[in-house]
Amino acid sequence: MAFNSIQYAILFLIAFGGFWLLGERPRLRILFLLAASYVFYASWNPVYLGLIVLSSSLDFVIGGTIHRTNSAMRRKLLLATSLVINLGILCTFKYFNFFAREFTALMGVFDVQVTPWKLEVLLPVGISFYTFQSLSYTIDIYKKELEPAKWFFQYLLFVAFFPQLVAGPIVRAKKLLPQFWHAPRVSNDEGSRAIFLIAFGLVKKVVIADYIGGHLVDPVFSNPQMYSGIETLAASYGYAFQIYADFSAYSDIAIGSAALLGFEIPINFNAPYRATDLRDFWQRWHISLSSWLRDYLYIPMGGSKKGTGRTYFNLMATMVIGGLWHGASLTFVFWGAIHGLALVLTRVIQRLKLTAAIPPRIAKLTGIVLTFHVVCAAWIFFRSPDFETALLMFKTIATGGIGIANMAFPALAVLLAAVCIHQMPENWMEQAKKQFARIPAIVQAALVIGMIIAADKLAQTDVAPFIYFQF
């Protein structure tokens, strides 16, 4: 049940109507939204509904027990239990075949024959996201930064809340849990902004991401040797904006859907390709994941407080693990390693003040251009199905010439539009939201429903699933 489908529109309208009809009865609201969330998740694969119920039930019990326990040893044991269960489930479904395959290949190097094992299961949709979200709950209780959920079903809803269940943003318990008890309030202006976000998200997904992907990115990455260097470079730029438009579209629709139900979900993107260095990039891209990795991985490893060498190691380790979080493939690990190395180099440059003599405007522009191209180079590994394809992409860019016979010019026009939208001044977007808010509410709703119907029709041929659904 994708956001750009008629099924989601129907589910959301039912959830919206029922939620607001329940008004001042928080327990009934929670149960109603939980039922809607489970229907949403079961639409992907009802078999895995039991998995998310089991995982969240265990964390509710463990979190409450940690809170009531004074023994430091027992608290650590309970936290370790939560980590082992959650990460064990995640690793079994997402990484078992990967590690089994790599182990078999490693043994082959030493001429040791190992019968490869393979787990024939589908990856539960959204498992990486809801696992991290649930883990943050038990960890925050362990650190005494959070009170446990008041009610079992409140916690189940926190883990399964359908607008952000499948691909985030990853919301902390301290941010979302209290909102379930508050009486819902949405002003006309807030409602209009929410509808604008949903409409804008649909445009980014269908008009920009899917078109660039289908007419520029996919053909080149499928057969890079058939294209010139310029065409291949354009495809690499195209993927940068395809994945941004696609993922930020999902986040926009998730935030807008939650806002119409009276819930606030933090932003997940902030013009990432305006970043002046890799550190700035990760403060703008997939903000909920980067902050999770910082708070629950980088800082617990020591962060930047245990010396320069340890800081660099922590950065590399965090980003490599972040790469592996995205997918069970060495290309994702390498993507994370590129970002880790770039973050280390950024720290070195800043520590040695190597750019101090460069005029600020030139330094900023140079930083933006260099950062964008490092990110694009890493995206090639992220997008490629294997290292051979990625290396062929780089080889073609370097030696493939400047021919444009196969250039998809309409896709380039859409790519240019995506660049312009991304670079649009923030106050322009605010003005667009204000103008949209002046349209009658019934017309706003009709526009969004019309766009969903159009997207659903296009989905028969052109609209692809959201990219981050696979993670």
**Are the beta carbons of 94 and 127 closer than 8 angstroms?**
yes
Whether 326 is catalytic is yes
The Cα 19–Cα 11 span in angstroms is 12
User: Helices 330-352 and 308-326 meet at what angle, rounded to 10?
Assistant: 150
Q: Which long-range contacts does 375-380 make (Cβ < 8 Å, 24+ apart)? A: 375/240, 375/272, 375/273, 375/278, 375/281, 376/236, 376/237, 376/239, 376/240, 377/236, 377/338, 378/335, 378/338, 378/339, 378/342, 379/236, 379/239, 379/240, 379/243, 379/335, 380/236, 380/239
**Are the beta carbons of 354 and 367 closer than 8 angstroms?**
no
Annotated catalytic residue: which of 215, 286, 326, 422? 326
Burial 54-63 (b: 16+ CB within 10 A, else e): ebbebbbebb
Token pair 């750019």 in the structure block, residue: 355
Mind telling me the catalytic residues?
Answer: 326
